[in-house]
Every structure is written in structure tokens, then in C-alpha cells.
Amino acid sequence: MMDQREKDEGTIAALMLRMQESRLPRAEHLLEKVDQGGVLDDADIQFLKRVNEDYRSNQGLIKRNPDYFRIMSAFIDLYAEIVAKGLANEKAR
């Protein structure tokens, strides 16, 4: 029978793969977009909402695994920067 640590490691591996292959490239694209004065469209906002929902649903996993917590904190900071810049760009229009 698998213990919690083994389950966490499997889940973290899957989440990290998704982050590397999908979420980080999209976040980098969105950061570039807002850095250039662009605003977030509906698809961008839905993406950011999904990421936030996933973060909330994995709070226990994140708290149990300090290394993963540090990675996710940096990633959430990136998303916060995207949202802040996107809002500033929207207000500037």
C-alpha cells in the first residue's frame, strides 16, 4: 500500500510536468503580452482562474512538501505579476 509521501511524489511529478509543458510557457507568453502593454482577454483570465483553482485544491499537498511549496510560491508570484500588469494596462486604456 502506498503511503502519503509516495502519493505526494507521484502527484507532484504530474503537476510539475504540466507546469513545465503547459503552464509555464503560457505564463511566460502572458507576461510578455502584458509587459508590452497588452490586456488579458477572456481566455487568459479563464486560464489564470484554473491555475488559481488548482493551487487552492492542492493546498494540503503544498503544505506537506516544502520544496514544492517554494516552487509554487514563485509560480504564484509570476501569476500575480501578470494579473497586476494586465489590470494596470486595462486601466491605462
Domain ranges of the chain: 27-92
pTM above 0.75, yes or no: yes
Query: Measured between alpha carbons, how far is 44 from 74 in angstroms, rounded to an integer?
Result: 19
pLDDT in tens, 64-78: 998 898 899 999 999
Confidence class for position 42, pLDDT limits 50, 70, 90: very high
| Environment class of 76 (CB within 10 Å of its CB; exposed 0-12, middle 13-18, buried 19+) | middle
Confidence class for position 2, pLDDT limits 50, 70, 90: confident
